[in-house]
Chains A and B, each alone.
Chain A
Amino acid sequence: MVVVNMQLLSLLIFLPLLCGALAWFAENKLRGSGNWVSLFSLTGLLLLSLYLGSLGDSSLSWHWFARFNIHFALLLDGLALLMVVLTLALAILAVAVSWHEIEQHRGFFHFNLLFSVAGIMGVFLATDLFLFFVFWEVMLIPMTALILIWGHEKRRYAAIKFFIFTQASSLLMLVAIIALALEHQTQTGFLSFSLAELQILAFAPKTEYWFMLGFFVAFAVKLPMVPLHSWLPDAHTQAPTAGSVLLAGILLKTGAYGLIRIVLPLFPNATMEFAPIAVTLGVLSIIYGALMAYSQTDFKRLVAYSSISHMGFVLLALFSWHEVALQGAILTIVAHGISSAALFSMAGMIQHRIHSRELLSMGGMWASAPKMATITLIFVMAGIGMPGMANFNGELFTLLGSYHVFPTHTIIAALGIIGSAVYGLHLFQRAFQGPANIDITDLHMRELVYSSLLVVALFYLGLQPHIILDLSADTLSSLLSIAKEVKP
Chain B
Amino acid sequence: MSMQELWLLLPVLIVSAGILLVMLQTSWQRNSVIAQGLTVLTLVLALAALIWQYPNDIKSITLLFEYEPIGGFFSLLILMVCISVALLQGPYMGSSYQGNASKEVAEEFYMLLLLSCLGGMLLVMSRHVGSVILSIELMSLAMLAMLAYNRERKASLEGAMKYLLLSGAATSVLLMGFALLYATSGQLLLVDMLPSPMGLLAKSGFVLLLAGLAFKLSLVPLHFWTPDVYQGAPVNSTLLLTTLSKAAVFALFIKLILLVPADFEADMVRMLSWMAIASMLLGNWLALQQQSIKRLMAYSAIAHMGYVLVAGIIAMGIDDSLVLEGASYYLLAYLVASILIFAVLSLLSKLDDPQDVDQLPQLQGLFWQHPWLASIMTLGFLSLAGMPITIGFIGKFYVLTLAVKLSAWWLIAAMLVGSAVGLYYYLRVIFTLFAPAQSEIHLAPGAYITKIWIGIIAAGLLLLGILPGLLGDQLRSILMVG
Residues on A with beta carbons closer than 8 Å to the beta carbon of B393: 134, 137
With A67-B469, A134-B389, A178-B397 given, is the CB distance from A160 to B404 under 8 Å? no
Cβ of A184 to closest chain B Cβ, rounded Å: 12
Determine the distance from Cα of A172 to Cα of B400 in the docked complex, in whole angstroms. 11
List of 7 A-B pairs having minimum Cβ-Cβ separation, nearest first: A168-B420, A134-B388, A65-B469, A137-B388, A67-B472, A178-B404, A65-B468
B388 touching A171 by the CB < 8 A rule?
Answer: no
Q: Which of B39-47, B178-186, B423-431 contacts A (4 or more CB under 8 A)?
A: B423-431
With A63-B469, A174-B400 given, is the CB distance from A182 to B423 under 8 Å? no
Is B405 an interface residue, CB under 8 A from the partner?
A: yes
State which of A64, A141, A171 has its C-beta within 8 Å of the C-beta of B469. A64
Of residues 406 through 447 on chain B, the ones whose CB sits less than 8 Å from some CB of chain A are 412, 416, 419-420, 423-424, 427-428, 431, 434-435
A160 touching B431 by the CB < 8 A rule?
Answer: yes
A133 touching B388 by the CB < 8 A rule?
Answer: yes
B387 touching A67 by the CB < 8 A rule?
Answer: no
Determine the distance from Cα of A67 to Cα of B427 in the docked complex, in whole angstroms. 31
**From DSSP, what is the main secondary structure of chain A's interface residues?**
helix
Cβ of A388 to closest chain B Cβ, rounded Å: 43
Cβ of A114 to closest chain B Cβ, rounded Å: 16
State which of A66, A133, A164 has its C-beta within 8 Å of the C-beta of B423. A164
State which of A68, A149, A167 has its C-beta within 8 Å of the C-beta of B420. A167
Cβ of A123 to closest chain B Cβ, rounded Å: 12
Residues on B with beta carbons closer than 8 Å to the beta carbon of A105: 368
Sample of 9 further A-B pairs with CB below 8 A, known A148-B434, A174-B397, A182-B401: A64-B468, A68-B401, A138-B387, A141-B387, A149-B434, A175-B404, A175-B416, A182-B404, A182-B405
A178 touching B400 by the CB < 8 A rule?
Answer: yes
Determine the distance from Cα of A64 to Cα of B467 in the docked complex, in whole angstroms. 7
A175 touching B400 by the CB < 8 A rule?
Answer: yes
A65 touching B416 by the CB < 8 A rule?
Answer: no
Residues on A with beta carbons closer than 8 Å to the beta carbon of B423: 163-164, 167-168
Residues on B with beta carbons closer than 8 Å to the beta carbon of A160: 424, 427-428, 431
Is B211 an interface residue, CB under 8 A from the partner?
A: no
Is A196 an interface residue, CB under 8 A from the partner?
A: no
Determine the distance from Cα of A84 to Cα of B125 in the docked complex, in whole angstroms. 54
Across chains A and B, the number of contacting residue pairs, with CB separation under 8 Å, is 72
With A138-B389, A160-B427 given, is the CB distance from A172 to B416 under 8 Å? yes
What is the 8 Å Cβ interface bit string for chain A, positions 39-52, against chain B (1 contact, 0 not)? 00000000000000
Residues on A with beta carbons closer than 8 Å to the beta carbon of B473: 65-67
State which of A65, A134, A164, A178 has its C-beta within 8 Å of the C-beta of B427. A164
What is the 8 Å Cβ interface bit string for chain B, positions 383-400, against chain A (1 contact, 0 not)? 000011100010001001
B472 touching A65 by the CB < 8 A rule?
Answer: yes
Is B382 an interface residue, CB under 8 A from the partner?
A: yes
Residues on A with beta carbons closer than 8 Å to the beta carbon of B475: 67
What is the 8 Å Cβ interface bit string for chain A, positions 292-305, against chain B (1 contact, 0 not)? 00000000000000
Closest to B467 in A: A64
B388 touching A145 by the CB < 8 A rule?
Answer: no
Closest to B472 in A: A67
Cβ of A363 to closest chain B Cβ, rounded Å: 34
A171 touching B431 by the CB < 8 A rule?
Answer: no
Determine the distance from Cα of A134 to Cα of B392 in the docked complex, in whole angstroms. 13
What is the 8 Å Cβ interface bit string for chain B, positions 139-156, against chain A (1 contact, 0 not)? 000000000000000000
Residues on A with beta carbons closer than 8 Å to the beta carbon of B389: 134, 138
Cβ of B306 to closest chain A Cβ, rounded Å: 16
Is B370 an interface residue, CB under 8 A from the partner?
A: no
Is A409 an interface residue, CB under 8 A from the partner?
A: no
Is A448 an interface residue, CB under 8 A from the partner?
A: no
A164 touching B420 by the CB < 8 A rule?
Answer: yes
Cβ of B472 to closest chain A Cβ, rounded Å: 5
Is B270 an interface residue, CB under 8 A from the partner?
A: no
A163 touching B427 by the CB < 8 A rule?
Answer: yes
> Would you list 30 pairs from A and B whose C-beta atoms are within 8 A, ordered by A residue?
A64-B467, A65-B468, A65-B469, A67-B469, A68-B472, A133-B388, A137-B388, A138-B388, A138-B389, A141-B382, A148-B431, A148-B434, A149-B434, A156-B431, A159-B431, A163-B423, A163-B427, A164-B420, A164-B423, A164-B424, A167-B420, A171-B416, A171-B420, A172-B416, A174-B397, A174-B400, A175-B412, A179-B404, A182-B404, A182-B405
Determine the distance from Cα of A105 to Cα of B325 in the docked complex, in whole angstroms. 42
Residues on B with beta carbons closer than 8 Å to the beta carbon of A178: 397, 400-401, 404
Residues on A with beta carbons closer than 8 Å to the beta carbon of B325: 67
Cβ of B464 to closest chain A Cβ, rounded Å: 11
Closest to A181 in B: B401
Residues on B with beta carbons closer than 8 Å to the beta carbon of A149: 434
Of residues 176 through 190 on chain A, the ones whose CB sits less than 8 Å from some CB of chain B are 178-179, 182
Cβ of B41 to closest chain A Cβ, rounded Å: 35
Cβ of B476 to closest chain A Cβ, rounded Å: 7
B419 touching A171 by the CB < 8 A rule?
Answer: yes
Determine the distance from Cα of A245 to Cα of B368 in the docked complex, in whole angstroms. 26
Closest to B413 in A: A175
B404 touching A145 by the CB < 8 A rule?
Answer: no
Determine the distance from Cα of A182 to Cα of B401 in the docked complex, in whole angstroms. 8
Most buried by A among B427, B475, B476: B427
What is the 8 Å Cβ interface bit string for chain B, positions 463-482, against chain A (1 contact, 0 not)? 00001110011011000000
Of residues 128 through 184 on chain A, the ones whose CB sits less than 8 Å from some CB of chain B are 133-134, 137-138, 141, 145, 148-149, 156, 159-160, 163-164, 167-168, 171-172, 174-175, 178-179, 182
Cβ of B383 to closest chain A Cβ, rounded Å: 12
Closest to A191 in B: B401
Residues on A with beta carbons closer than 8 Å to the beta carbon of B467: 64
Residues on A with beta carbons closer than 8 Å to the beta carbon of B469: 63-67
Cβ of A150 to closest chain B Cβ, rounded Å: 11
What is the 8 Å Cβ interface bit string for chain A, positions 14-48, against chain B (1 contact, 0 not)? 00000000000000000000000000000000000
A67 touching B476 by the CB < 8 A rule?
Answer: yes
Determine the distance from Cα of A174 to Cα of B412 in the docked complex, in whole angstroms. 11
Of residues 106 through 139 on chain A, the ones whose CB sits less than 8 Å from some CB of chain B are 133-134, 137-138
Residues on A with beta carbons closer than 8 Å to the beta carbon of B420: 164, 167-168, 171
Closest to A155 in B: B431
Determine the distance from Cα of A179 to Cα of B472 in the docked complex, in whole angstroms. 20
Most buried by B among A68, A105, A156: A68
Most buried by B among A63, A156, A159: A156
Cβ of A182 to closest chain B Cβ, rounded Å: 6
Determine the distance from Cα of A167 to Cα of B389 in the docked complex, in whole angstroms. 15
Determine the distance from Cα of A68 to Cα of B397 in the docked complex, in whole angstroms. 11
Residues on B with beta carbons closer than 8 Å to the beta carbon of A65: 468-469, 472-473
A145 touching B427 by the CB < 8 A rule?
Answer: no
Cβ of B16 to closest chain A Cβ, rounded Å: 37
Determine the distance from Cα of A175 to Cα of B402 in the docked complex, in whole angstroms. 11
Cβ of A334 to closest chain B Cβ, rounded Å: 28
Determine the distance from Cα of A137 to Cα of B388 in the docked complex, in whole angstroms. 7
Cβ of A179 to closest chain B Cβ, rounded Å: 5
Cβ of A204 to closest chain B Cβ, rounded Å: 14
Residues on B with beta carbons closer than 8 Å to the beta carbon of A159: 431
Determine the distance from Cα of A179 to Cα of B412 in the docked complex, in whole angstroms. 12
Determine the distance from Cα of A262 to Cα of B368 in the docked complex, in whole angstroms. 41
Determine the distance from Cα of A63 to Cα of B470 in the docked complex, in whole angstroms. 11
Determine the distance from Cα of A64 to Cα of B397 in the docked complex, in whole angstroms. 15
Of residues 220 through 245 on chain B, the ones whose CB sits less than 8 Å from some CB of chain A are none
Residues on A with beta carbons closer than 8 Å to the beta carbon of B428: 160
Determine the distance from Cα of A178 to Cα of B434 in the docked complex, in whole angstroms. 34
What is the 8 Å Cβ interface bit string for chain B, positions 283-325, against chain A (1 contact, 0 not)? 0000000000000000000000000000000000000000001
Residues on B with beta carbons closer than 8 Å to the beta carbon of A138: 387-389
Determine the distance from Cα of A137 to Cα of B325 in the docked complex, in whole angstroms. 24
Cβ of B368 to closest chain A Cβ, rounded Å: 8
Closest to A63 in B: B469
B387 touching A137 by the CB < 8 A rule?
Answer: yes
Residues on A with beta carbons closer than 8 Å to the beta carbon of B468: 64-65
Determine the distance from Cα of A96 to Cα of B431 in the docked complex, in whole angstroms. 27
Closest to A171 in B: B416
Determine the distance from Cα of A377 to Cα of B435 in the docked complex, in whole angstroms. 38
Residues on A with beta carbons closer than 8 Å to the beta carbon of B424: 160, 164
